[in-house]
C-alpha cells in the first residue's frame, strides 16, 4: 500500500519531497556511478533517547542509492562513519546479487551523525537498533519489497543486534566477520592466536615481538620519530613507551586479522631498527592506540567497553621485559571522565536469539581472522547458516568465498528473499 501522499507516477525525488512534509528530513542528490541510477544523502532528525522522542535530537546521515522502487533493499547498518559510502562507485556486493537498492546508515555518535554534546549514556546498542528501525520505517514508505540487513565487522554486530530487537523488520540478515564477544578481554581470541597459522610463522612473529620488547630502549627513538612524522601522540595510554609495548602486543592480532603480510616478510632480529618499526606500522598501524586514533574510534571503544566486548593481550610470554604488571585492556580509551562497567547481558541474549529463535541469518567468517574465534556458534535448530572461508581474513565476503561456498551462499540468500 502506498504512502498516502504518493501517487504511482511520482519520481524518487518527488517521493522524498512528499516524505519531507511529515518526517524531519532534508536531502540532496549526489553523484552516482555504474550500478545505481540515483543517489541521495538524507539527513534524518533522530531522538537522542528513543525513550523520550520529544527530547533532544541529533541528525543522522543516510545514503540512499536507487535502481528501482519496486526492487528489494540492502540495508547496510554501518557500525562506524559512512564516508566510504559517499564514494559514487561504492556498491555493497549484495546489491548486484539481489538486483537491489542500497541504504547505508551511519552509526550514531560517529561524526557527522552525532549530537553537538556527546552524552555517552545514550550510545547503547538498543538506541542504535532504534535508529535502524526508524530508518526502515521511513524508507519503507517508498520501498515495499524485501529488505536484507547487512554489515561488516562492528557493522555485522549492529545488524545482528538490530535483528534481535526487530526480528520482522527485514527478510534476511547477512553478517560479515562479526564477533559476538562476552568480555572486554574475550580469551577465545588469545587461544585462537596460539594456534592460528603454522608453528614456524607463529615462532617468527614471536621472535620479532621478543626482539622489539626486550630491546625497546633501542627501538623507542625510531618509534617516536615515525610517530611524530605521522602526527601521532600517546598521552592517553600513558606515553610512548607504553604505546610501543601495546603495538608489539597487537602485532599478531593485526597480522592474522588482515592477512596481507607474508610470514617471510616479518623482520628477523638483526634487521635495521628503521625497518623493524616500519613493519610494525605497516602491520599493526601506529595510529591504533594513539590519541588521534582513539578519538577517531571513540564511539567504537565506548560500545566495546560497555556492551559489545573486545579482546585484550596475553603478556605472559613477555613478563620479564614488559613494564605492564597485568594483561592490558582498552578501558583507557574511554572518554575523559566517563566510566563504565562491562555488561554481557545483551550479547548473551543476542547469542541465544541467533542460536534458537532467529531465521534467515547468514554469517561469514574468515578462517584465519581472530574475530572468527568469537563468531556465533550455531545450533542448527533453525535455518541460520555460517560460512567459514578456509584461510580467510577480515576481508572475507561472499564474492571471495571458494566457488562451492559462494554458490551455496547465494542460492540460500536468494531463496530467503523469494519466500512468500
For residues 198 and 158, state if they share a domain.
no
Closest CA to 134 of 240, 278, 23: 23
Domain-embedded: residue 380: yes
pLDDT at 32: 87
> Of the residues 311, 333, 355, which one is the last residue of a structural domain?
333
For residues 140 and 203, state if they share a domain.
no
Walk along the chain (420 residues) in steps of 10 and give the mean pLDDT of each run. 58 96 97 90 98 97 96 96 77 97 97 96 98 98 97 97 98 98 97 96 98 98 98 98 98 97 96 98 98 97 98 97 97 96 97 97 98 95 96 98 98 93
* Straight-line distance from the first to the last Cα atom of the chain, in angstroms, rounded to the nearest whole number: 17
CATH code of 353's domain: 3.40.50.1820
For residues 151 and 28, state if they share a domain.
yes
For residues 194 and 312, state if they share a domain.
yes
pLDDT at 288: 97
- The Cα–Cα gap between 82 and 211 comes to 39
Cell numbers at 334, concatenated: 574511554
Largest distance between two CA atoms of the chain: 74
Strand order through the sheet with 361-366: 25-29, 38-47, 57-66, 101-105, 73-77, 147-152, 172-176, 361-366, 385-389
Query: Which residues, other chains included, contact 293 with Cβ-Cβ below 8 Å and sequence gap of 6+?
Result: 232, 285, 287
For residues 33 and 141, state if they share a domain.
yes
For residues 108 and 30, state if they share a domain.
yes
- The Cα–Cα gap between 416 and 396 comes to 21
Dihedral Cα 140, 144, 149, 155, nearest 10 deg: -30
Query: Which residues, other chains included, contact 126 with Cβ-Cβ below 8 Å and sequence gap of 6+?
Result: 161, 165, 346
For residues 167 and 306, state if they share a domain.
no
Domain-embedded: residue 412: yes
Domain-embedded: residue 4: no
For residues 73 and 92, state if they share a domain.
yes
Range of the domain at 327: 187-333
Task: Work out how many domains the chain is built from and give that number.
Answer: 2
pLDDT at 397: 98
> pTM, whole model, 2 decimals?
0.95
pLDDT at 89: 85
H helical segments located in 7-153: 12-19, 94-98, 125-139
For residues 204 and 73, state if they share a domain.
no
Amino acid at each position: 500500500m502506498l504512502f498516502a501522499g504518493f501517487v504511482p507516477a511520482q519520481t524518487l525525488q518527488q517521493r522524498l519531497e512528499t516524505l519531507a512534509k511529515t518526517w524531519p528530513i532534508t536531502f540532496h542528490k549526489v553523484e552516482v556511478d555504474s550500478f545505481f541510477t540515483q543517489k541521495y544523502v538524507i539527513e534524518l532528525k533522530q531522538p537522542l533517547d528513543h525513550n523520550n522522542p520529544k527530547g533532544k535530537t541529533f541528525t543522522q546521515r543516510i545514503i540512499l542509492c536507487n535502481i528501482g522502487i519496486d526492487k528489494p533493499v540492502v540495508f547496510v547498518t554501518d557500525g562506524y562513519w559512512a564516508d566510504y559510502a559517499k564514494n559514487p562507485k561504492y556498491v555493497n556486493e549484495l546489491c548486484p546479487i539481489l538486483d537491489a537498492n542500497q541504504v547505508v546508515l551511519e552509526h550514531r555518535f560517529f561524526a557527522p551523525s552525532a549530537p553537538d554534546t556527546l552524552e555517552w549514556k545514550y550510545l547503547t546498542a538498543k538506541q542504535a537498533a532504534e535508529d535502524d528501525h526508524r530508518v526502515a520505517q521511513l524508507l519503507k514508505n517508498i520501498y515495499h519489497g524485501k529488505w536484507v540487513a547487512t554489515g561488516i565487522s562492528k557493522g555485522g554486530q549492529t545488524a545482528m543486534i538490530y535483528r534481535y530487537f526487530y526480528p520482522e523488520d527485514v527478510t534476511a540478515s547477512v553478517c560479515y566477520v562479526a564477533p559476538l564477544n562476552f568480555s572486554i578481554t574475550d580469551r577465545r581470541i588469545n587461544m585462537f592466536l596460539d594456534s592460528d597459522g603454522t608453528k614456524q610463522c607463529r615462532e617468527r612473529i614471536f621472535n620479532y615481538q621478543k626482539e622489539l620488547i626486550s630491546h625497546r630502549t633501542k627501538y623507542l627513538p625510531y618509534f617516536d620519530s615515525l610517530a611524530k612524522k605521522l602526527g601521532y601522540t600517546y598521552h592517553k595510554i600513558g606515553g610512548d613507551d607504553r604505546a610501543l609495548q601495546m603495538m608489539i602486543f597487537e602485532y599478531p592480532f593485526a597480522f592474522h586479522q588482515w592477512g596481507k603480510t607474508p610470514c617471510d616478510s616479518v623482520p628477523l632480529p638483526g634487521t635495521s631498527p628503521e625497518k623493524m618499526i616500519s613493519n610494525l606500522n605497516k602491520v599493526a598501524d601506529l595510529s591504533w592506540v594513539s590519541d588521534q586514533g582513539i578519538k577517531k574510534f571513540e564511539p567504537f571503544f565506548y560500545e566495546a567497553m560497555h556492551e559489545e566486548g573486545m579482546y585484550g593481550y596475553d603478556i605472559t610470554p613477555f613478563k620479564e621485559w614488559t613494564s605492564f604488571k597485568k594483561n592490558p585492556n582498552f578501558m583507557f580509551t574511554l572518554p575523559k571522565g566517563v566510566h563504565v562497567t562491562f555488561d554481557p547481558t545483551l550479547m548473551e541474549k543476542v547469542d541465544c536469539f541467533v542460536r534458537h529463535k532467529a531465521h534467515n541469518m547468514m554469517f561469514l567468517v574468515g578462517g584465519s581472522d581472530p574475530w572468527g574465534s568469537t563468531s556465533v556458534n550455531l545450533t542448527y535448530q533453525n535455518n541460520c547458516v555460517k560460512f567459514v572461508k578456509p584461510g580467510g581474513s577480515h576481508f572475507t565476503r561472499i564474492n571471495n568465498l571458494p566457488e562451492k561456498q559462494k554458490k551455496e551462499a547465494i542460492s540460500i540468500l536468494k531463496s530467503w528473499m523469494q519466500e512468500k
